[in-house]
Amino acid sequence: MKYLIFLLLAYSSWAQNAYRNVYTRSAWSERDSWQRPQELIRLLNIKPGNSVADIGCHEGYMTVKLARAVGESGHVYAVDVEPGKLNRLKEILTEQGFKNATVIRGDYDDPKLPPNSLDAAIIIDAYHEMEDHEKILMHIKSALKPEGRLLICEPIADERKKLSRPEQERKHELGIQYAREDLVQAGFLLIYQYENFVDRTAVKGDRMWVLVAKR
């Protein structure tokens, strides 16, 4: 019995460490090969000393990169609704020595960002999950400084581009036209769009588009 308990504890510890190593090293490194994170940072037009929000941050793939980009004098707000992911992100930030990031547990319709505080905000592969997009965009807009930028990057498979919005969202995707309409309706000014920003057809069967707008 003691031996069985020892094996279970050893496996639990191994699994936790394996998860951490895979997610931060293997999966993130693989994602670097297609996500084009430095191009996303360039499109955000952020500089050292800026404040930026990673909304729908998950375990912090972009949070870490943004924290490096804004430097010690800048700040990153990492927002998600899932406590488990945020707890893991806190661990990663501590492990890598970042002190310029604040982790926020947001609501599904409110990222809980300080008003008029952001030079930029980014949402990657998470906007399709935000059902109350009108409220989300309203809160983001109020958090952005004048001329502040919002970047949205989402996947959509070619064969589902003409489906209705609910049908796309059930597949965890969204066509660029729906987000474009949302941004215009919310009073943002569109400044950049690219439908084939990332071609993942060979790996995930979809392409990722990108939209950049400013307040």
Please write the tens of the pLDDT for every residue from 128-145. 999 899 999 999 999 999
Q: Is 1 helix (H, G, I), strand (E, B) or coil?
A: coil
| pLDDT band at residue 1 under the 50/70/90 scheme | low
Q: Do residues 193 and 209 make contact, with C-beta atoms less than 8 angstroms apart? A: yes
Q: Which CATH number fits domain 36-214: 3.20.20.70, 3.40.50.150, 3.40.50.300, 3.20.20.140?
A: 3.40.50.150
Alpha-carbon distances of 172 from 23, 101, 145, 158, 181, rounded to whole Å: 21, 28, 30, 14, 19
Q: Which residue has the higher pLDDT, 30 or 52?
A: 52
Residue-wise pLDDT for 77-127, tens only, equals: 999 999 999 999 999 999 999 999 999 999 999 999 999 999 999 999 999
Q: Name the pTM for this structure.
A: 0.86
Which residue ranges make up each domain of the chain?
Answer: 1-33, 36-214
Q: How confident is the model at residue 31 (pLDDT cuts 50, 70, 90)?
A: confident
